[in-house]
Copies of this chain bind each other. A is one copy, B any other.
Amino acid sequence: MLFHVKMTVNLPQSMPAEQADELKRTEKARAQSLQKEGKWRHLWRIAGQYANFSVFDVSDIDELHSLISTLPLFPYMQIEINPLVRHPSSVWEDDR
């Protein structure tokens, strides 16, 4: 089950550099782990923005919420979610 997610990060400018670095390091580790598990199917940086477009492949909404709300950067992100279905013009049975 696919969800399109846009994440925009807003770290407070008062956050100490080490804290920001640590957050980004753990965020990256978590993001890579989820990608390898196949849950975080696509992860693209939007050029010129501190933001990404992602596609999650999860078994249900609970899993989606659990994955996103436990990301280290979650308290600093604005999240937009859109559920996806197969497009009738898609040539792939299952465009993951």
Q: Is the interface of A mostly helix, strand, loop or mixed?
A: mixed
Q: B-contacting residues of A (Cβ < 8 Å)?
A: 1-5, 12-13, 27-28, 31-32, 35-36, 42-49, 52-53, 55, 60-62, 64-65, 68-69, 75-76, 79, 81-92, 95
Is B84's CB under 8 angstroms from A53's CB?
Answer: yes
Contacting residue for A62 out of B86, B90, B92, CB 8 A: B86
Give bound CA distance, A84 to B81, whole Å.
11
Tell me whether A90 and B35 are in contact (CB under 8 A).
yes
Q: Are A89 and B44 in contact, with the CB atoms below 8 A?
A: no
In contact, B48 and A79 (Cβ under 8 angstroms): yes
On whether the beta carbons of B86 and A45 are closer than 8 Å, the reply is: yes
